[in-house]
Amino acid sequence: MGYLRRWAARQFTTRVIVLMPVGIAINIVLGSTVQQALKLPIYLDSIGTILVGVLAGPLAGALTGILANLIWGYLLPAPIGTSTIGPFAITAGVIGLLAGFWGRLGLFRPRRAGGASIVAAAIAAILVGALALYTYARAYASPDVFASITGFGATDFDRSRIFFLVIMVLYVALVGTALYLRRDVGAVFAIGAGLVTGIVAAVVSAPIASIVFGGVTGSGTDALVAAFRSGGDSLYQATLKQGLLSDPLDKMITSFVVFFILGSLSRRFVARFPNGEKALGHEVETGTAEAAKG
């Protein structure tokens, strides 16, 4: 028990305590102001959560996500405050938790590389995507087996393969863009982590959305839910499918933004966080000018 408490105390240093409100504010501001400015079908409200998770660890990331949702939903007045955000605090907590683990595993580490490695990484991403798609398509012997294992209708099997293809294409497209913008192979891992996070987030959000809000969130995605339901899906299935279409895209984009930002922060700043060393990798800085600066 004492070990747990000490571990928790190490996670929540003063620096982490100062970082968390910043993460919360980033979530809320990007998720409202910037989201409104761009009008894209993504939420963009997890950048702070993932950033804190990668820098400060799973606990801090989870708490940042949960508190951001609660504050956004219940402590801020309209028009910024939105009462529908609150119950999704659970999802936000899971996102932060995952981000902490990705950070520990070094998935957000910069891996600068030359031209050949970039091309190799792009090809690898395409191959992995294709392989995953092929495996998925072959994983279930028949549509009926698919139905019995996953609980979806047998007719969904074809649709789910198409959906998988779409996700993989999106993944490869984003990786390609990322590699083009920053010659950094680490983008492959970061966006991959975002993909997994997005899928998990969709699975966690579906029951919340269906139970609390009857599957409706007031955004454009409701039309998708309606479409799925008119096709005969249950409420839960419809919200899950809608989530699986929008969450992975949102989390992949978010993870790339976090990856980009991490790569642009000074090493000294990042290294002082509990997860910072793992987020950076163990390369020793040799520059003296930056070190001598007060």
Q: Give residues 169-228 in contact with other proteins (rule: CB under 8 A).
A: 181, 212-219, 222, 225-226
Work out how close the CB of 92 gets to other proteins at its nearest, in angstroms, rounded to a whole number.
14
Q: Site for other proteins (CB under 8 A): which residue of 54, 56, 62, 71? A: 71
Residue closer to other proteins (CB basis): 47 or 206: 47
Q: Site for other proteins (CB under 8 A): which residue of 120, 131, 154, 271? A: 271
Residue closer to other proteins (CB basis): 123 or 214: 214
Is 143 among the residues that bind other proteins (CB under 8 A)? no
Is 4 among the residues that bind other proteins (CB under 8 A)? no
Q: Which parts of 236-265 interact with other proteins (CB under 8 A)?
A: 253, 257, 260-261, 264-265
Give the whole-angstrom CA distance, residue 161 versus residue 138: 10
Q: What angle do CA 46, 49, 55 make, to 5 degrees?
A: 135
The 23-52 site mask, x for binding other proteins (CB under 8 A), equals -xxx-xxx-xxx--xxxx---x--xx--x-
Q: Which residues pair with 184 in a beta bridge?
A: 112
Q: Site for other proteins (CB under 8 A): which residue of 2, 79, 114, 115? A: 79
Give the whole-angstrom CA distance, residue 140 versus residue 12: 45
